[in-house]
Amino acid sequence: MYLDVWHKDILAFLDIKLNNGDERMRAHDIFPGVCIPDLFMEAVEQRAEFHLFDPHEVRQVMGFSLEDYYDEEPGRGSFRERYEACVRHATLSRITVPAIEIMKRVMISQLETGTPFMFYRDTVNRANPNKHAGMIYASNLCTEIMQNMSATTVVEETMEDGEIVIRKKPGDFVVCNLSSIHLGRAVPDNVLERLIPIQVRMLDNVIDNNKIDVLQAQHTNRRYRAVGLGTFGWHHLLAKRGISWESNAAVQFADELYERIAYLTIQASCELAQEKGAYPLIHGSEWESGLYFARRGYGSAAWQELAARVAQYGVRNGYMMAIAPTGSTSIIAGSTASIDPVYELISYEEKTTYKIANPAPDLSPETIWYYKTAFHLDPHAGIQQAAARQRHIDQGQSVNLYVRPDIHARDFLGLHLAVWKQGVKTTYYVRSRAVEIDVCEACV
């Protein structure tokens, strides 16, 4: 469940999973997320006041829905114009609080419950290649899916014979069609050029072969033909390459690798479009106009040639890349989860009758020095890697923040500001653990 940070109920919402307070105001099985505009983060940084509104009252009094807008450019845009119009309106009710107080409540909840997830709506929508066809309001449970969303409209009609007919105009009902590359095997074996076209074709086939009971989901699936090609085994790959997690080399490698994956994915989708046709909503998209490539600074001859082919033939899939958490998948595949660092050098899975040890993949006297564990790493290093990746990913990535529970509030706030400023679209869980941490075996 995602709620706008300017919503009047945001403070109660941020307490919804806490283990203390009025139990009648708690819902422990909800996974909360917060939709955050640039304007709020600016107010946090400037220690300015922030105004909370009732969205229904805004619609009634102002004639628009505040959630339907975002800032088209950093520092200016339609959201802040309408938000400021609400602030100036004399009779529109509001609650005014320091923005930093809301952010404190966010961080308290994250340290206690791991949530809320953070969704930077302006950043997300500015990068949306299908903004001509709609808007992205929120993400999914794992914060990596970012596709246009809209409500289904239901109309009831009474016919002359007294029969009541219910008609539905379908909205954009998002579907996850996901598959992930095993980086720890695919990159060392140099098979990305062969693997990715197969993977994109398989994902595209899922759209036609899968039967979904929710008809508007089927409708959306076929209009956008959205898929989410992702990866797992990032830390595994770094260890095999002998690259330290906290090094500049890791950030540079992330930039180079994910640009290559993006190129091969878009190329594969373009080839499918030549064979089967482009997705129905491509006209007016940033794929067709070439803005997708220009916004990301893809100026090399290879990228320019691919952009020209996309302009001519289109792409088969309106959304293509998303990095999911892959916790269970990575264990089955013998690798590390998603883009996360390892939790422990050896973790244990315990059941009633057995206990299984899961060592870090390819753990050896050579790789152990590159398996520094999550809570011994500088969180800013992971954020820098995520920022380097984000330029090449049209959707999002499940970015976890690993912090000690005794982290200073100033430092914790600094992580959130770094995520926002560096253009990462979302953060997933905030992972913390006991203050007493074992000695780091992989620390030099």
- CB-based contacts of 440: which residues, under 8 Å, 6+ apart? 372, 373, 376
The rounded distance, in Å, linking the Cα atoms of 271 and 275 is 6
Structure token digits, residue 97: 């609080």
Those residues of the chain that have pLDDT short of 50 are: 436-437
Entry pTM = 0.94
Q: Give the span between the Cα atoms of 369 and 431, in whole angstroms.
A: 23
**What domains lie within the chain, and their CATH numbers?**
2-115 (no CATH), 136-413 (3.20.70.20)
Nearest to 35 by CA among 152, 146, 173, 150: 146
pLDDT given for residue 443 in this prediction: 52
Q: Which amino acid is at 78?
A: S
Burial class (CB in 10 A: 0-12, 13-18, 19+), 132: middle
pLDDT at 437 (0 to 100): 47
Q: How far apart are CA 221 and CA 318, in angstroms?
A: 10
d(CA 227, CA 345): 33
| Number of neighbouring beta carbons within 10 Å of residue 441 | 14
pLDDT by residue (tens digit) across 144-175?
999 999 999 999 999 989 899 999 999 999 99
What is the 3 state secondary structure string of 354-401? CEEEEECCCCCCCCHHHCCCHHHCCHHHHHHHHHHHHCCCCCCECCCE
Give yes or no for a cis peptide into 98 (omega within 30° of 0): no
Which pLDDT belongs to residue 350? 80
CA distance 375 to 395: 27
The residues carrying an active-site annotation are 140, 142, 144
d(CA 149, CA 220): 9
